[in-house]
Amino acid sequence: MPRLVMKFGGTSVANLERISNVARHVAREVEAGYKVAVVVSAMSGKTNELVAWCKEAAPLYEPSEYDAVVASGEQVTSGLLAITLKKMGIPARSWQGWQIPISTDDAHGSARILDIDGEALGGSIDAGEVAVIAGFQGIHLPTRRLTTLGRGGSDTSAVAVAAALKAERCDIYTDVDGVYTTDPRVVPKAKRLDRIAFEEMLEMASLGAKVLQVRSVELAMVHNVRTFVRSSLVDPEAPEMANVEKAGTLICDEEEIVATQMEQQVVTGIAFSKDEAQVSIRRVADKPGIAAAVFGPLAEAHINVDMIVQNVSADGFTDITFTVPNADFERAKAVIETAKGAIDFHDVEGSTDVTKVSVIGIGMRSHAGVAAKAFEALAARGINIRAITTSEIKISFLIDAAYTELAVRTLHSLYGLDS
Ligand code: ASP
Ligand code: MG
């Protein structure tokens, strides 16, 4: 009998009525013959409330106790869904992370899963009992402390459980019906993708699309877990729900996509992130050790640096530009000022009014001229590019935030993604 993992996010379990809707989705798959494990998030808004309570109780709270508090939201929904399923005549039980156990390291608040014991869990679902697992949480076994996996971590729980159970698929139910070529609120002509490759999804998630926690996509890619993003806010018994191909977006191996397409799309999607700040260091001496002197102290301050651009110098001086999350802008500038003695530069400046727009597609590997087309199109709209970075399957542009929508729309139609 094939095993299936179904994950439901906060909006899908926001109240008892939604939970009973979730139970009907589960019933459909049980009737179709699957052995089902369900992973649930806390009711929407719950985790925020719990986080706020911790901060109010003590701004410098103990991270292990923070985990004890914030893990509770999922405990509630897992129990409630099990109760609801049983009321419908479907055998079910709840599982907390520690009961499985889902063992993690001790990085409280953003723990990493080390191992999932699939033995008891698999035995239980194979015997016909739906497992309702509290997402987002695990246990650090040596200290016997609860841990949580970072915000949005239930996605990661679900993919990890699917890998441990060798499930046929991991279905992620959410409040949108799949992954779109870009944010439909910005581009109404955005299309839902039938399929997207792990690598592309990883870029989309890292570069601003908020459908899935980035780590869940990494995990899905490493363990080759076919992950299907679909909506829970539809009639669970609607005929199209039985047809996986029509009901959402499948995130899968590149080969599975190539096999189904006559001609490969060059660009799959456009992502953007407004959470970017640009820092530029002017007239830096161009000599060995300078980059280390700049980025070493930033790393020590735990500031995540993203794009990095440096010029070839003519007169022994160069400019270094990089981006950091908005929230770290002032701190990053201060770190650079403090390191001035070691770096030797004229001044440091920057802006938080910038957006990173990215063009993503595995088809870029085998097509030339993708970037050139974008430069032309952006120039024709009068959009100035502040910095560019590329990889095999993406090109990112840093632009003025005011041009975000225009740039996204321009690129979306340029690469033939408009519906
Ligand atoms: N409830 C947690 C959060 O809000 C985990 C999740 O929903 O994935 O971040
Ligand atoms: Mg989520």
pLDDT tens-place string over residues 135-175: 999 999 999 999 999 999 999 999 999 999 999 999 999 98
Ion ligand 2 residue ranges (Cβ < 5 Å): 9, 152
- pLDDT at position 243: 75
> Which residues have a Cβ under 8 Å from the Cβ of 192 and sit 6 or more positions away?
177, 178, 179, 180, 248, 249
The best mutation among 136, 148, 173, 175 to test binding of ligand 1, ranked by most ligand atoms within 8 Å of the C-beta, falls on 136
pLDDT tens-place string over residues 344-377: 899 999 999 999 999 999 999 988 899 999 999 9
pLDDT at 390 over 80: yes
Phi-psi domain of 161 (left: phi exceeds 0; alpha: psi -120 through 50; beta: other): alpha
> Which residues have a Cβ under 8 Å from the Cβ of 184 and sit 6 or more positions away?
190
Please give the Cα distance from 357 to 405 (Å, whole number).
10
Please give the Cα distance from 415 to 59 (Å, whole number).
48
> What number does the ligand 1 atom closest to the CA of 151 have?
9
- pLDDT at position 156: 98
Taking alpha carbons only, the member of 198, 184, 324 closest to residue 249 is: 198
Q: What ranges in 224-324 are assigned the alpha helix state H?
A: 254-258, 290-300
> What number does the ligand 1 atom closest to the CA of 44 have?
4
pLDDT tens-place string over residues 124-133: 999 999 999 9
pLDDT tens-place string over residues 287-340: 889 999 999 999 999 999 999 998 888 888 999 999 999 999 999 999 999 999
154 C-alpha to center of ligand 2: Å? Answer: 7
Q: What is the mean pLDDT of residues 51-74?
A: 96
Q: What is the mean pLDDT of residues 43-56?
A: 97
Taking alpha carbons only, the member of 306, 236, 222 closest to residue 271 is: 306
> Of how many residues is the chain composed?
419
Ligand 1 proximal residues by C-beta, below 6 Å? 9-10, 41-42, 47, 73, 135-136, 151-155
Please give the Cα distance from 407 to 271 (Å, whole number).
11
47 C-alpha to center of ligand 1: Å? Answer: 6
Please report which confidence band the pLDDT of residue 210 belongs to, taking 50, 70 and 90 as the band edges: confident
- pLDDT at position 223: 97
378 C-alpha to center of ligand 1: Å? Answer: 37
Please, is 170 exposed, middle or buried when counting C-beta atoms within 10 Å of its C-beta (0-12, 13-18, 19+)? buried
Please give the Cα distance from 190 to 186 (Å, whole number).
8
Strand order in 308-310's β-sheet?
308-310, 317-324, 269-285, 347-360, 394-400, 385-391
Please give the domain boundaries of the chain with CATH numbers for all domains: 3-176+211-258 (3.40.1160.10), 269-414 (3.30.2130.10)
Q: What's the CA angle centered on 231, arms 24 and 129, to 5 degrees?
A: 35
Radius of gyration of the chain from Cα atoms? Answer: 23
DSSP-assigned letter for residue 378: H
Give percent of the chain with pLDDT exceeding 70.
100
Please give the Cα distance from 90 to 221 (Å, whole number).
32
Taking alpha carbons only, the member of 127, 113, 195 closest to residue 161 is: 113
Please report which confidence band the pLDDT of residue 57 belongs to, taking 50, 70 and 90 as the band edges: very high
DSSP-assigned letter for residue 300: H
Q: What is the mean pLDDT of residues 94-123?
A: 97
- Determine contact, residues 119/95, Cβ cutoff 8 Å: no
**Mean pLDDT over the full length of the chain:** 94
- Determine contact, residues 382/400, Cβ cutoff 8 Å: no
The pTM of the whole model exceeds 0.75: yes
Residue 308 φ then ψ, to 5°: -135, 125
- pLDDT at position 262: 67
> What number does the ligand 1 atom closest to the CA of 41 have?
7
- pLDDT at position 314: 81
Pick the residue with more confidence: 48 or 315? 48
pLDDT at 207 over 90: no
pLDDT tens-place string over residues 247-257: 899 999 998 88
Nearest residue (by CA) to ligand 1, atom 9, is 151
394 C-alpha to center of ligand 1: Å? Answer: 29
> 13 vs 52, 82, 137, 178, 294, CA distance in Å?
21, 12, 17, 18, 46
Q: What is the mean pLDDT of residues 218-235?
A: 95
